[in-house]
Amino acid sequence: MTQSALAGLLRSDIEIKFTRWALVVIFALFGYAKWFPYEAQALQPLIGNSPILGWMHTVFGVQGASYALGVAEWSIGLGLVLGAWFARISVLASAGSVATYLTTLTLIFSTPGAWEASAGGFPAMGGATGFLLKDVVLLAASLVLLKHSLLRVIRMPQHAPAVA
């Protein structure tokens, strides 16, 4: 690779594009799973013990709560897709992604058995904690994309369309 080609690659925003499309895949696949009973049942102890999400079972039922989360995940994913061309939509979808991962990380603190008692508790991960901990990286990716999206909006000319 020539020095010029390397410099061009370093000036590109390929990591932002990769981050966007990686998040789209995550929201698409996890949103898809929410339409099946196996996922609704797996979510039951997480949602049921959450001070933030616990109301969903009362309002929607177990499967309905899973459907609602699936719709939210697909909506955010679609917003991220559209956000590749529309900066303002990217801001909204990226903010939704940040909110999603902040919320899922709170489940570590509200789900029984989050820290394995037989190993002395924290920091020995138990139950779903290891699975939920990956959301720290997804939150970081969402924050990077949100920052990039906000910069796109700020840099747009006053009367220009929202397309970036």
Determine the pLDDT at residue 95: 98
Determine the pLDDT at residue 154: 94
Determine the pLDDT at residue 124: 80
Any idea what DSSP says for residue 50?
Answer: -
Chain Cα centroid distance, residue 96: 7
Amino acid letter for position 79: G
CB 161 within 8 A of CB 150: no
Determine the pLDDT at residue 160: 54
Q: Where would I find the H helices in 12-122?
A: 14-33, 37-48, 55-83, 87-110
Token code pair at residue 141: 């990716």
CB 97 within 8 A of CB 84: no
* Secondary structure of residue 80 in the 3-state scheme: helix
Determine the pLDDT at residue 40: 97
Determine the pLDDT at residue 164: 45
**What residues of the chain score a pLDDT lower than 50?**
164
CB 111 within 8 A of CB 55: no
CB 23 within 8 A of CB 80: yes
CB 79 within 8 A of CB 98: no
- Predicted TM-score of the model (pTM): 0.87
CB 142 within 8 A of CB 156: no
